[in-house]
Each structure stands twice: as C-alpha cells, then as structure tokens.
Amino acid sequence: MSEAQVKVLGARQEFAPLLAVDGVKVSYGAIQALKGVTLKVGKGEVVALIGANGAGKTSTLRAVSGMLKPVGGRISFAGEDTTGAKAHTLVPRGMAHAPEGRGIFPNLTVLENLELGAYLRSDADGIAADMEKSYALFPKLKERRKQFAGTLSGGEQQMLAIARALLSRPKLLLLDEPSLGLAPQVTETIFRNLKDVNAAGVSILLVEQNAHLALNFAHYGYVLETGEVVMAGPGKALLESPEIRKAYLGE
Amino acid sequence: MQTASAVSGSGGSSGVPASLRGILPVLVALPVLLVLEWLLSNSPFASYLLSIMAVNIILAVSLNIVNGMTGQFSIGHAGFMAVGAYLAGVTSLALKDVALSFLPVAVSDQVFLVVALLAGGISAALAGFLVGLPSLRLRGDYLAIVTLGFGEIIRVVVTNTEAFGRALGLSGIPQTSTVAMVGFWVFLVVLVSRRIAGSSHGRSLWAIREDEVAAEAMGVNTTGYKVRAFVISSFFAGIAGGLFAHFVPIINPGSFTFVKSMEIVVMVVLGGLGSTTGAIVAAVFLTLLPEALRSAFAAFGSESTLAQQVDQIRMPVYGLLLVVLMLSRPQGLFGTKELWEVIPRWIPRRRKGM
Ligand SMILES: Nc1ncnc2c1ncn2[C@@H]1O[C@H](COP(=O)(O)OP(=O)(O)OP(=O)(O)O)[C@@H](O)[C@H]1O
Ligand SMILES: [Mg+2]
C-alpha cells in the first residue's frame, strides 16, 4: 500500500534473494512503530537502512531477527516464511543480530562472550577456526580475550559485538548503529573489517544514523520515515539526491 | 569466572579434579549426614534440627537456580513448598493403611514416602509451570509480583479447604521422614543444580542473567530456559515441603507465609546469587542462628518465654544481616563462585603472610 509512495532512484544491482520484508507492521501497544515496511536484501548484498531517531529502524531489525512479532505483513528468509518465528529458531538458519547499544555481556570475558556467540553450534573445530578468524579480523580482541567485556573501550566493545555475531556463522548480519559513539578512525576500522566480512559472502543489513558512511558502504539503501519506507535506491544515487543531502547530510 | 578457575587451578595442592568438582559438596555432605543420623538416632531434637536444615538447603539451592543462576526474582518459594507439603501430606494420609507386605515395615514406609514426595514435587512443578509460563514470557519484575500473589493465593486456598484442615492444619501425617531421606534429596538438588551450572542449559541461564536481550539475539530460547529453570526449582520446593510434612507433627498455613519465602531469599542472597555452595552455607547458618540464640538465652538463665522471643527477633536479625552484607559484600558470601573456587584463593594468601 505504501509501495506507491516510495521514491526509487536508479536501478538495483542483481543479487539472489535472501531476505524479503513485505508490508511489515509493528506496534507497541497503541504506538504503531512500523506502518508497512517493505525491503529486500540479496545474497552477498549490503543494504543500509537510514532514518531519523524514532523512524523505526531498530524495530525493523527486531522484527526481522524474531525478537518482535509483527502484527502484519510477511517476512521470508533463506527461502522460508519466517513471519513471527522466534529468534532462537532463526539463529540456526543463519540470522545474526548485533543489537543496538552493543549488547555484549559486560561481566563475562571477551572469550566467554565469543563462546556464547557460537552458542548454538557444537562443532568444536569449526568454532575454534572461526574464533581465530575473528581474532585475525580484530587483533585487539585477541590481546584482550581474558579481559571483562565491560572494561573494553567503546570501539572494542563494538568489535566484540560484531565478532560475536559472526561466530554463529550467519548468512545475514543485522547491525544496529555500529558507529554509535565511536571516533571516526575507529568507525573506519570497523567498516573496513565489515567490508572483509561481506567479501567473505555475508550479507549485511545495516542501520545507521551516519547516512554518509552507510550509503557509501552499502550497495543499496532505504530511507525510513515514521515507520514507512519513503525512498530507496543504490547507495551512491541516494547520496547524490538533493532530498537526502538536505535531510540527512545537513546540506 | 574463567580467571577465577585459572587461579584456583594454579593453586596446586588445593586443586580438585574437574570431574569431581560438581559433586564434591555432595560427596562431603552425604556421609556426614549418614553418620549424623547414626549418631543422633536417639536424639530426636538433633534429627529434627538436621531435617529442618536439610529442608532449608533444598529450598535455598532450588531458589538459587531461579534467583541466582537465571537472574529472575521469585519471592513465593514458600507457596510451592506449601503445594508440595499439602499434596504429599494428603497422599500419605490416603495411603496410611496400605503397606507393602513383602517388604519390612521401615522399607515400605520409605517407598510410600517417596511416592508422597513425588506427588508433592510434581504438583509443585505443575504449579510452577502454570505460574511461570505467563510471567516469564515477559521481562522484568512480573515474576516477583506473580509469585508473591501465588504464595498468598495458596495460603487462602489452604485456609478454606476442608481436605487441607483449614487454618487448623493437617495432622496425623505419618512421621516417616528420616535424616537419610532428607540427605538424599539434598544430594539430588545439589547434583541437579551443579549439573545445570556446568551444562549448556547453565550457559543459557548465565546469558539470560547477564543480558536477556543479548541472549535472545544469540539464539537462546529465553522463555523456554527460564520456564524450565522455574519448574525444576518449584519441583524441589515441593519436595522440601513434602519432607517437612513428614517430620513435623502438624502443617498449617502459618508455616508457609511470605516470611518463609523471604527467609529463603535471604539465604540465597547471603550465600551469593548464583553460588550453590553459598546457598548451602547460608541455609545452614540461618537454620542454626535462631537455635544458637535460643541456647544463648537459655544459658543466661532466662525463662523459656524469652527463648521463644528469639523467633520474633529472627526477622530483624535477618534484616540487619542483609544490610550489613549489602554494605560490606554486596555480591554475597561467595558471589557467583563456589566454595572450592573461593577457599584456594584464601589459603595461599595466608601462607604468604606467614
Ligand atoms: N519497547 C517500546 N515500547 C514502546 N514504544 C517503543 C518501544 N520501542 C520503540 N518504540 C517506539 O517506536 C518508534 C520506533 O522506534 P525505533 O527504536 O524502532 O526507532 P529507531 O529508528 O531505531 O530510532 P533511533 O535512531 O533513535 O535508534 C519510536 O517512536 C519509539 O518510541
Ligand atoms: Mg534504533
């Protein structure tokens, strides 16, 4: 229904389908946070979701990862209808969610946090190999593996959150504001690492306040406004659109 | 926690093999209980005290699974104890005149006791499921409110049910409980609790306790694990109640009040939320404390009426204890650690001092 109002800029690069969100509605009691959100993420694609505070970005991710039950619409993931499926049934199917505000376990060590990331896996060798991979990706974490996660710096905590999400071997990584509260250089490091993650075949659905960063990084982007998608297009095309420049890049 | 075990491991002489750690407290407790029963066989008061202590251990260790390991807050454990006590009591009364003639009387008694206990335990577990499922689906303080209400509802129901003896209570339940039987259930609850702590179930509870949203994002079936922990905990509360009903002459609603629930909460907090051995030590301590006070009063030659007043000053003493503890050691005696993780860290330090 809201499909008609979406302003689409430019053609989308072809990817095999992975996630399809179709007219999803989410309510918190009387508050309707999502009024019918439709978006897609392809295999190997990076998709950015941008929008103002309270637009419904976090709610969209939570509906996709099964932490919220939508009151309307359909979600399909990896060829299956997953509308209303619980998070613990989606993680084994390849969904990983690094929640807003990082959501690491502060009173556990870095290593214990990572072990919990592999919570649903039982292949000890595979876990050990993936653990090494995440240390290669974020060498800081290896140095700090015995340290309590709560005592890591903000940037290190974000790296841990991403590394931990990757330990479930996801097909799709949901990231909620990975740049939140981080210095530009740290953010840059994290996004460079995310590029490697994506190059290894992991699709990413990225929520960001930093529209410039997100749209530069993503193949495709959606703009969310008060619970609805109002604009979509390839990252670069959105970056060049005057509306976006005015509303989100402060020009 | 990783670091703690590394420290105790390097402690050397005091290191306990990992495979034994889980059942160590049980290995220590069980022979002690059996020897005690033998020693105290002609001292009914000592057996009684030991049984009360065991019941309190079962209550504290089982509540620790919910309040300590899972980080939920249940304040109605006495309600589940009541369900177990009354259902086990009624079962025993119904089976009073039945005997397994091919067994010695004492053995037959114990068989029926176990049947009654299971009836009580399973009823309490069922009650736990009914109470836990709706309230544990939500995050936050709902469990506390619902369990508080549950405890009161059970009391009102019992007080108004003829079959449960109303306010007067239920008497005439065969007094078939033995120190060995309560010891066996202590063994079982400690074993189950330690098994949970060391398993993937325990890791899930641990994650829920630390951060429920993150645990959910990680693929932990949070509702499922919370409800399972709650049902196991309720089962053992029911067993504790059942045992209690078989060594006190009369059970009445006054034994299962909110004060009893709080007493169990105090034990868990005092021992350290999440520590099984902490819960045991605190339960033993808080069972003996009023007795010690009573003896102290008696030694000073005061009248028995004054000794009875100890029961009344017990709660203020608990309150004071909690305040002192929260100020000096907010994580409880052992924190989330176990006795054998804590002791080895004390010993080398003292050696160094010498
Ligand atoms: N648990 C909740 N209960 C009630 N309302 C909520 C809840 N979570 C979110 N909302 C409301 O839903 C709307 C969308 O919130 P959401 O968190 O999805 O926004 P967001 O786009 O992620 O914002 P931000 O950029 O600030 O993180 C907001 O109006 C918010 O107040
Ligand atoms: Mg948000």
CA B305 to CA B298: how far, in whole Å? Answer: 10
pLDDT of residue B9: 34
Instruction: State whether the beta carbon of A51 lies less than 6 angstroms from ligand 1.
Output: yes
- Note the helical H segments in A9-67: 57-64
- Neighbouring residues of B202: CB distance < 8 A, sequence distance ≥ 6: B69, B196
Nearest to B297 by CA among B284, B321, B313: B313
Inter-axis angle of helices B179-198 and B200-210, to 10 degrees?
70
Alpha carbon dihedral A89, A92, A98, A103, in 10-degree steps, equals 70
Which residue is listed with tokens 């005061």? B302
Average pLDDT (A115-141) is 89
| Chain A: closest CA distance from residue B211 (Å) | 6
CA A127 to CA B343: how far, in whole Å? Answer: 34
Token readout for B183 is 């010891």
Query: What is the 8-class DSSP label of residue B15?
Result: -
pTM of the predicted structure, to 2 decimals: 0.84
pLDDT over 50 (residue A62): yes
pLDDT of residue B330: 81
DSSP of B144-208 = HHHHHHHHHHHHHHHHT-GGGTGGG-EE-------HHHHHHHHHHHHHHHHHHHHSHHHHHHHHH
Nearest to A228 by CA among A59, A29, A12, A28: A59
| Maximum Cα–Cα distance across chain A | 53
Q: Is residue A202 within 8 Å of residue A171, measured between CB atoms?
A: yes
B217/A65 Cβ within 8 A:
yes
Q: Is residue A187 within 8 Å of residue A179, measured between CB atoms?
A: yes
CA A55 to CA A18: how far, in whole Å? Answer: 24
A166 to chain B, any CB pair closer than 8 A? The answer is no
Strands A220-225 and A203-208: unpaired
Question: What is the per-residue pLDDT across A195-211, written as a single tens digit (0 to 9) for each?
Answer: 999 999 999 999 998 89
pLDDT of residue B352: 46
Residue A31 CA, ligand 1 centroid: distance in Å: 9
Number of residue pairs across A and B with CB atoms under 8 Å? 65
pLDDT of residue B344: 72
CA A57 to CA A147: how far, in whole Å? Answer: 32
CA B343 to CA B236: how far, in whole Å? Answer: 28
CA B28 to CA B343: how far, in whole Å? Answer: 15
pLDDT of residue B8: 35
Q: A27 forms bridges with which residues in the sheet?
A: A32
Residue type, B216: E
Nearest to B116 by CA among B271, B218, B251: B251
Query: Strand, coil or helix: what is B345?
Result: helix
Which residue is listed with tokens 């050397």? B12
- Cα–Cα distances (Å) from A163 to A180, A190, B204, in that order, read 17, 11, 19
Which residue is listed with tokens 């179709």? A22
- Neighbouring residues of B206: CB distance < 8 A, sequence distance ≥ 6: A108, B69
Q: What is the residue-level pLDDT of chain B in tens, covering all 354 positions?
A: 333 333 333 333 345 566 666 567 667 766 776 777 677 777 888 888 889 999 999 999 999 999 999 999 999 999 999 999 999 999 999 998 887 888 888 888 889 999 999 999 999 999 999 999 998 887 767 899 999 999 999 999 999 999 998 888 999 999 999 888 998 899 899 989 999 998 888 888 989 998 888 899 888 999 999 999 999 999 999 999 999 999 999 999 999 999 899 999 999 999 999 999 999 999 999 898 877 877 777 776 655 566 566 667 777 777 888 788 888 888 888 888 888 887 776 665 555 444
Residue type, B221: N
A69 to chain B, any CB pair closer than 8 A? The answer is no
Q: A222 forms bridges with which residues in the sheet?
A: A49, A232
Residues with CB under 5 A from ligand 2 (ion): A 58, 100
Nearest to B154 by CA among B64, B232, B252: B252
Chain A contact set for B220 (CB, 8 A): 88, 119
Residue A58 CA, ligand 2 centroid: distance in Å: 4
Question: What is the per-residue pLDDT across A137-163, written as a single tens digit (0 to 9) for each?
Answer: 889 899 999 999 999 998 899 999 999
Query: Strand, coil or helix: what is B17?
Result: coil
Token readout for B27 is 């290995």
Residue A99: which pLDDT band, with cuts at 50, 70 and 90? confident
Question: What is the per-residue pLDDT across A34-59, written as a single tens digit (0 to 9) for each?
Answer: 999 999 999 999 999 999 999 999 99
- Chain A stretch 189-218, residues whose beta carbon is closer than 8 A to a beta carbon of chain B: none
Nearest protein CA to atom 5 of ligand 1, as residue: A28
Burial of A215 (0-12, 13-18, 19+ CB in 10 A): buried
Q: Any idea where the domains of chain A sit in the sequence?
A: 2-247
- By Cβ distance, the residue of A91, A99, A111 closest to B214 is A99
Token readout for B124 is 């309490």
Nearest to B35 by CA among B243, B179, B247: B179
Query: Strand, coil or helix: what is A71?
Result: coil
Token readout for A126 is 């595979």
Q: What is the third-level CATH fold of A2-247?
A: Rossmann fold (3.40.50)
Query: Strand, coil or helix: what is B39?
Result: helix
Nearest-Cα residue of chain B relative to residue A117: B218
A105/B214 Cβ within 8 A:
yes
CA B268 to CA B279: how far, in whole Å? Answer: 5
- By Cβ distance, the residue of A86, A103, A120 closest to B214 is A103
- Cα–Cα distances (Å) from B83 to A156, B75, B244, in that order, read 50, 15, 12
A246 to chain B, any CB pair closer than 8 A? The answer is no
Q: Is residue B78 within 8 Å of residue B257, measured between CB atoms?
A: yes
A97 to chain B, any CB pair closer than 8 A? The answer is yes
Residue A179 CA, ligand 2 centroid: distance in Å: 12
